[in-house]
Chains A and B, each alone.
Chain A
Amino acid sequence: MENKKSGRIILQAKDIIKQYKQYDSVVTAVDRATFEVSDGEFVAIIGASGSGKSTLLHICAGLDRPNSGTVSVRGNELTAMGPDELAVFRGNYLGMIFQNHNLIPQFTALENILVPTLMCNKPDTSYEEHLKKLVATLKIADRLHHLPSELSGGQQQRVAIARALINRPQVVFADEPTGNLDRANADEVLELLMQTKEVMRQTLIIVTHDMSIAAKADRILKMDNGKLEPYRG
Chain B
Amino acid sequence: MAYRRPYYNEDHKLVRYGPVDFIKDSIGAVIRFFSPSNIKFAFRSVTAGFREFAAFFVALSLLQSLFWMIWLRNDSYAAEAKKEAYSGEGYNLIVEGIDEEAWADLYNKQFVFAEARTVEERGYERMDRETYFTGSAEYMIRLKFVLTEDSVEYCGRFARKYTLNREEFSLSYGERTGYLGKIASVRGRSVLTTVLAGLLAAAILMLLFYIRTNRNKFMYGIFVSFGGGFSKLMETAGWEMFAVAILTFLPSAGLSCLAYFLIARFQGAEFVFLPQRIPVALLWILCAVLLAAVPGIFVLTRRTPVALLTAADNSNYVSSPRRSFRIFGKSFPYHYELYGFVRFRKYYAMVLLSAVLFTSLFSCGLFFADMKRAEGEAAHPAFTVTSGGEEIDPLDIDALADIPGVKYISFGSYVFATELRSIVLLSDRQAAGISSKTVKDRTTGLVADNNVRYGLLSERLVTETAKGMWSVEGDLSKVAGSDIYVAVSTTVSNRYAMDFRVGDSIRIGVFESAGRPLSFEKPDRLYALSMLVNEAYFDYIDVTVAAVVDDGDTSDTYCIYLSDSLFEKVTKRDASVTEADIYLDQTVRTLDLGGIRESVVKIMTGYDGYSVKSLDAVFDYNLYKRAGERLPIVICAAAILLISPMVWIFSQAAFSAKRETEIYMLSAMGGTDRDLWKLFLFSGGILALLASAVTAALGSLINYGVFCFANYLLPSLGMGESVRYRYLFSVPGFLICVLLSAAGALLSTCLPFITYKKNRDRTERAASGEVRRG
Binding site for B on A (CB under 8 A): 8, 58, 63-65, 74-76, 83-85, 87-93, 96, 98, 102, 104, 106, 115-116, 119-121, 143, 146, 149-152, 155, 163, 167, 170
- Cα distance A222–B229 when bound, in Å? 33
B-side interface residues toward A, CB under 8 Å?
1-4, 7-10, 12, 14, 32, 218-219, 221-232, 301-302, 304-307, 309, 766, 771-774
Residues in chain B near residue A92, CB distance under 8 A: 227
Complex Cα gap A18–B768 (Å): 46
Residues on B with beta carbons closer than 8 Å to the beta carbon of A143: 774
Contacts of A155 in B (CB 8 A): 774
Contact A102-B222, Cβ < 8 Å, known A87-B229, A146-B774:
yes
Which B residues lie within 8 Å of A116 (CB)?
226-227
State which of B1, B218, B225, B230 has its C-beta within 8 Å of the C-beta of A90.
B225
Instruction: For B766, list chain A residues within 8 Å (CB).
Output: 149
Given contacts A85-B229, A91-B227, A115-B222, 13 further A-B contacts (CB under 8 A): A63-B305, A75-B7, A87-B227, A90-B227, A96-B226, A98-B309, A116-B226, A116-B227, A120-B226, A146-B772, A149-B766, A150-B773, A167-B226
Smallest distance from the beta carbon of B761 to chain A beta carbons, Å? 15
- How near does chain A come to B464, taking the closest CB pair, in angstroms? 74
| Residues in B whose Cβ lies below 8 Å from that of A84 | 1, 229-231, 301
Q: Is the CB of A119 within 8 A of B226?
A: yes
Known contacts: A64-B304, A150-B772. The answer to whether A104 contacts B229 by CB under 8 A is no
Q: Which residues of A contact B225 (CB under 8 A)?
A: 63, 90, 96, 102
With known contacts A58-B306, A120-B227, A85–B222 Cβ distance under 8 A: no
Q: How far is the CA of A88 from the CA of B225 in the complex (A)?
A: 9
Provide the residues of chain A in CB contact with B9, threshold 8 Å. Answer: 74
- Residues from chain A with Cβ under 8 Å of B32 in the complex: 121
A88 touches B306 (CB 8 A): no
| In the bound complex, CA of A232 to CA of B641 (Å) | 69
Minimum CB–CB distance from A77 to chain B (whole Å) comes to 9
A48 vs B307: C-alpha distance when bound (angstroms)? 23
Q: Assuming A85-B3, A104-B218, is B226 touching A163 (CB within 8 A)?
A: yes
Q: Complex: how many Å from CA A74 to CA B11?
A: 9
What is the minimal beta-carbon distance from B672 to any residue of chain A, in angstroms? Answer: 26
Chain B nearest CB, measured from A7 CB (Å): 11
Q: Which of B219, B230, B766, B774 has the most CB of A within 10 A?
A: B774
24 contacts between A and B (CB under 8 A): A63-B225, A74-B8, A74-B9, A74-B10, A74-B12, A84-B1, A84-B301, A85-B3, A87-B228, A87-B232, A87-B301, A88-B3, A88-B229, A93-B10, A98-B309, A102-B225, A104-B222, A119-B223, A120-B226, A120-B227, A121-B232, A143-B774, A150-B773, A150-B774
* Measured CA separation A96–B302 after assembly (Å): 20
Q: Which residues of B contact A146 (CB under 8 A)?
A: 772, 774
Chain A: CB-nearest residue to B226: A116
Within 8 Å by CB of A83, from B2, B226, B230, lies B230
Residue of B nearest to A115 (CB): B226
- B222: A residues at CB distance < 8 A: 102, 104, 115
**B772 cross-chain contacts in A, Cβ below 8 A:** 146, 150
Question: Which interface residue of A65, A120, A121, A149 has the most chain B CB atoms within 10 A?
Answer: A121
Q: Which residue of B lies closest to A88 (CB)?
A: B2
Other-chain contact of A75, B8, B219, B301, B306 (Cβ < 8 Å): B8
Tell me the nearest residue of chain B to A91, going by C-beta: B227
Most buried by B among A64, A83, A102, A120: A83
With contacts A76-B7, A150-B773, A152-B773 known, is A115 near B304, CB below 8 A? no
User: How many angstroms between the C-alpha atoms of A163 and B222 in the bound complex?
Assistant: 11
Q: Which residue of B lies closest to A84 (CB)?
A: B229
Which A residues touch B305, using CB under 8 A? Answer: 63-64
Asked if A85 and B227 make an inter-chain contact with CB atoms under 8 angstroms apart, the answer reads no
The interface residues of chain A lying within 8 Å CB-to-CB of B218 are 102, 104
Q: Are A119 and B232 in contact (CB under 8 A)?
A: yes
Query: Using Cβ atoms and an 8 Å threshold, which residues of chain B touch A89?
Result: 2
The 10 closest A-B pairs by CB, nearest first: A91-B227, A84-B229, A119-B227, A75-B8, A116-B226, A87-B229, A152-B774, A64-B306, A119-B228, A88-B2
Q: Which residue of A lies closest to B762 (CB)?
A: A149
Task: Say whether, besides A64-B304, A74-B8, A152-B774, A90 and B226 are in contact (CB < 8 Å).
Answer: yes
Across the interface, name the chain A residue whose C-beta is closest to B1: A84
- The residue on A at minimum CB distance from B220 is A104
